[in-house]
Amino acid sequence: MKNRINAALLLTLALTMSVHAFELSSHDIKDGQFMSKQQEFKGFGCDGDNLSPHLRWQDAPKQTKSFAITAYDPDAPTGSGWWHWQVVDIPSTVESLGSGVGTAKNTGLPEGAKQIKNDYGNTSFGGACPPKGHGVHRYQFTIHALGVAKLPLPDAPSSALVGYMINANSLASKTIEALYKKD
């Protein structure tokens, strides 16, 4: 009898979770597929359009007070990966960002959202630019639902500190892992 009750509780929990699963989608990038030249950096020997991809999310946890977006290349030959984009303090009422909003002027970002300096040294989106002949790199675009309205960050924080604070305040996250390669 006890096993049947436990099984029923687990089934109920699984059904509840599947109905409200945090989701991330994009018109521009797809999980496990190569990105276009639009998401390639312009500079460092790359000549892409350097456009941040469209991102849309839904079914965030009810306790969400803000969102953060990160774009990270774990395959960069640095010993610590490469941060391409970090946006914090996105209001909880926002559910998408359009293509190309990650500019240095912040004109397309929601009010209150803040971009962090990336590993190119820019406070904007920095597209893919793996070393020529280095093979396929993975680019992890992640939306984080946070339990705080504003991350407690100092002025000009490092990407590592931002990542730490995002993870310390994360309620849920979802990732699209896109690919890029330069021959």
Per-residue model confidence as pLDDT tens digits over 50-97: 999 999 999 999 999 999 999 999 999 999 999 999 999 999 999 999
CATH number of this structure's domain 22-180, picked from the four choices 3.30.230.10, 3.40.50.1450, 3.30.160.620, 3.90.280.10: 3.90.280.10
Question: Is 182:129 a contact under the CB 8 Å cutoff?
Answer: yes
Q: Rounded distance, CA 78 to CA 59, Å?
A: 35
| Predicted confidence (pLDDT) at residue 151 exceeds the cutoff of 70 | yes
Report the 10 Å Cβ neighbour count for 165: 18
For 126, left (φ over 0), alpha (ψ -120 to 50), or beta?
beta
Residue 66, pLDDT score: 98
Overall average pLDDT of the 37-42 stretch: 97
| Predicted confidence (pLDDT) at residue 27 exceeds the cutoff of 80 | yes
pLDDT tens profile 110-132 = 999 999 999 999 999 999 999 99
Beta bridge partners of 181: none
Residue 13, pLDDT score: 46
Find the distance separating the first CA and the last CA of the chain, reported in whole Å. Answer: 62
For 58, left (φ over 0), alpha (ψ -120 to 50), or beta?
beta
Q: Can you read off the two tokens belonging to residue 43?
A: 């500079």
pTM over 0.85: yes
For the chain, the average pLDDT equals 91
